[in-house]
Structure 1
């Protein structure tokens, strides 16, 4: 089965499941698609007791897809650029310091807290894992997922200044989270005695600062090219070329493509560039094109997340560990946000209960699963993949469905 056939099947499933959601369930797309795919996969499991043809076909499709590569090296750049393009730049500029602290210090603190609590919690269910591998799990589960967050917050009716904090944090902490994961992965793989502090700082600095600088350059070049012509077709293609060529260049230079695409999207999407470089027609076409890319890749992504059940190694102690991890991760996220929020809340007039809403609204998604799939068996891949999947499903289905009700219940205006 070639890649075109697999892609066609995935798009067909996304279209059918998306239709069922819009027609009958009427849930946010990310939640509805994932729920329908999980139900479909369970139905295939049950059907396999009578005829396993469909199960084997679905399992074959999912084993042919390198989910980690597809998401982190391809889809993520498009999704982050689209998300950044439609982020309110002026609001983000006002909230830049808390967003920056949430996405850096918050992720680092969360990584350490999660690693620590999992190291002591896993023996409760008879699992003993080295601290460095628990820390690696902390790194892959700490970033919140902008892909899951964006659509849900808009439907929830969150205030703009709160939405900007959550979305801004999610856009940037993806890139930061991936860099932290890769840094700890290198230490776990080579051994802490074989990795110097200078190497860690060099890797972290090159990935983060290099990604942001590349994004600024890409955004500026895109702006200059769009300003010099007035042809909406070509201008849309220029934005697409910036993402595709920029991603390839970032990978070749070994710098963070996610951070580069977020930065480029913010530059191209800000009001000054829109007013100076885009006609009204171009602005409409650029926005609609990237909205369509966003929706298409989102639907495929959450169908894939639902299908990833087929690669899990289900053991009772793994499932119990996943259930234990859910409240522990929420507590760790709450604590990691506490200091930055207390520091900034008086200066920036935070909405009431910001910490509680950001904790419950910080959804985990495909990025965590992709990173978990990149672990080796020595790093307890099967265990952490099951825990990650349980956390992601709970996060999207339960937190995603109730964050709007939480905002209304707290009467956040």
Structure 2
């Protein structure tokens, strides 16, 4: 009896420790998000910096950053949330170049990085002398891009929808390709090292790649279509529908892995179906619930991933192995250069009308960050594949590359986009914002003047003189804004849309308040909320149409 009591106490203590770590992560995430907005630093980069700082002091965050934790628990919701917002119309128009970069580019990047690692190990860095199969495994795992920080920045800066889709679409598909190539390289390495099993030919590798790649997409497509047409179309309950999408995100990954095909690509396909078919089949209320839930889920998961990256990084080991990390960085940057500029040039020759602009290529090159997938694959390596020393070196090199891309590329991509002129804030929009800010400030000054006069702090003569100045400034600034809106009517349409959205949000809040006060019944509450959400959905449709015209290239 005492044994079971002690065992139960130990399990309870472990559970409390995990819960405490989760609470600390959420609290830190909220604080970091608040501060990063004020200092204009990408949120994910700020989390890594905080994690690095915490790694030097004793902390209660005791969560093991294992491969299983990342791939099985953290990756599916991240990928599903990203694909929910990926519009098929824009993706289809750019699918050729995306697949060229994701498939051919990942193959090419794997070969280039693997080749550089092999040559460097035989010449410059003797401690990196590894077998070709091991070098290719590292090339595959480090080829998986993770532009979470970049995409968030794209949205903040209003970057072209096409550029966002190019970067995000490449990442979503190339993650699955990198995992497949990584597993093939491990199989080849195991056969070469042990001499057991059948030899692995190039044709077998291609067949295996196609089976895993297409099989994963098929599993996700079937499940995503079923959920979109059966559940989201016929069940009018936002909680049930949201729960179903959660089951889909994790279930598609698990089922695909059970069939030995790509779980990552299954989630990609499932998310695309739900985002483009399921979202059209369901009610506006469910759309809002789904968007809010998955946005929060992605926030929590990203917070865990990037904070734990900082915590797990051992900077003392980096100092002792700078040559290894330097070789890996050179290989990654060189391969990224060849892949982005080389393959987009070939694509431009084949599809001149859909050529990727040179400015976009610069952003795509520097925006090719590495993150969760690369770390998960590196952490999955064990001594059963390669020697323990090689496994440690690869994990160290992966952490080094991930930190460099996040801390250096992630913090400089914003200035690069502005220098390239890729931010979508046009001169008329800048003028509109300037006029609105001046009007806002002038009205605030006028309100303060009225308060000072009402409180008897200034005399009637001073109040009258200053009031005349403020009235003149308000008239002139209103006139300037009206003239700008006449010259650019699309700005007025955007202002009207935003104002109507704000008003609808106020109405929705008032309806919820009336329900909480018991002024209306639950049936009336749900009816009014649905009506409000229908009106908001109509505004979103109008806005999407306007943005589609602006982004169509």
User: What TM-score results when the alignment is normalised by the length of structure 1?
Assistant: 0.89
SS at structure 2 position matched to 1:314: helix
**Counterpart contact for 1:149–1:167, Cα < 8 Å:** no
Superimposed CA distance per residue, residues 199-255 of structure 1 (whole angstroms, 9 cap, x where no aligned partner)? 423432221111000111011111112111221111111111212222221121111
2:406 aligned with 1:396: yes
Contact 1:146 1:171 in 2 (8 A): no
Q: Is residue 2:216 matched to residue 1:211?
A: yes
Does structure 2 retain, via aligned residues, the 8 Å contact 1:319–1:386? Answer: no
Determine whether 1:305 maps to 2:309: yes
Partners of 1:191 and 1:376 lie apart in 2 by 16
Report the Cα distance in structure 2 between the residues aligned to 1:93 and 1:403, rounded to whole angstroms. 26
Tell me the residue number matched to 1:281.
285
SS in 1 for 2:369: coil
- Contact 1:126–1:317 at 8 Å: present in 2 too? no
Query: Could you tell me which residue of structure 2 aligns to residue 51 of structure 1?
Result: none
Cα distance, 1:66 vs structure 2: 5.5
Gaps of 5+ in 2: 1-9, 425-553
For residues 359-413 of structure 1, what are the alpha-carbon distances to aligned partners after superposition, in whole Å with 9 as ceiling and x for unaligned? 1101000211111112234351111111111110110111011111111111236
User: Where does residue 324 of structure 1 map in the other structure?
Assistant: 327
Measured against aligned partners, the alpha-carbon deviations of 1:53-107 in whole angstroms (never above 9, x if no partner) come to x36x65xx34xx3610011122211111111011232211110111111110000
CA offset at residue 148 of structure 1? 4.0
- Of 3-12 and 128-137, more deviation after overlay is shown by 3-12
User: Structure 2: how far apart are the matches of 1:98 and 1:108?
Assistant: 15
Q: What's the counterpart of residue 153 of structure 2?
A: 152
For 2:511, the equivalent position in structure 1 comes to: none
Contact 1:92 1:168 in 2 (8 A): yes
Q: Say which SS state the counterpart of residue 55 (structure 2) adopts.
A: helix
Structure with larger RCO (C-alpha < 8 A, sep 6+): 1
SS in 2 for 1:124: coil
* Residue from 248, 251, 257 that aligns with 2:257: 251
Quote the RMSD (CA, aligned, Å).
Answer: 2.2
Contact 1:334/1:356 (<8 A) preserved: no
Contact 1:87 1:164 in 2 (8 A): yes
Instruction: Confirm or deny: 8 A CA contact 2:344 2:355 kept in the other structure.
Output: no
> What secondary structure is seen at the aligned counterpart in 1 of 2:187?
helix
Unpaired runs of 5+ residues, structure 1, are 45-53
Residue equivalent to 1:50: none
State the partner residue of 2:24.
13
Residues paired across the two proteins, number? 395
Contact kept? 2:55, 2:312, Cα under 8 Å: no
Correspondence for 1:48: none
Shift of 1:151: 1.9
Structure 2 residue 274 is the aligned partner of structure 1 residue 268:
yes
Separation in 2 of the partners of 1:83 and 1:393?
22
The structure with the largest alpha-carbon Rg is 2
CA contact (8 A) 1:175 1:258 kept: yes
1:108-165 Cα offsets, whole Å, 9 max, x none, are: 0000001111222344243222222111111000110144443233234322111110
Q: Distance in 2 between matches of 1:328 and 1:29?
A: 27
- Structure-2 separation of matches of 1:307 and 1:315: 14
**Cα 1:117–1:267 shift into 2, 3 Å:** same
Deviations 1:237-276 (A, max 9, x none): 1111212222221121111111000111011101x5423x
Is residue 337 from structure 1 mapped to residue 348 from structure 2 by the alignment?
no
CA contact (8 A) 1:18 1:32 kept: no
Deviations 1:157-193, CA, capped at 9 Å, x for gaps: 3221111100000011111110110110111112187
Please point out which of 282, 293, 296 is paired with 2:297. Answer: 293
Partner-residue secondary structure (3-state), 1:254: coil
Give the drift of 1:313.
8.2
Q: Tell me the residue number matched to 1:363.
A: 369
What displacement does 1:6 show?
Answer: 4.8
TM-score, scaled relative to structure 2: 0.68
State the match for 2:66 in structure 1.
67
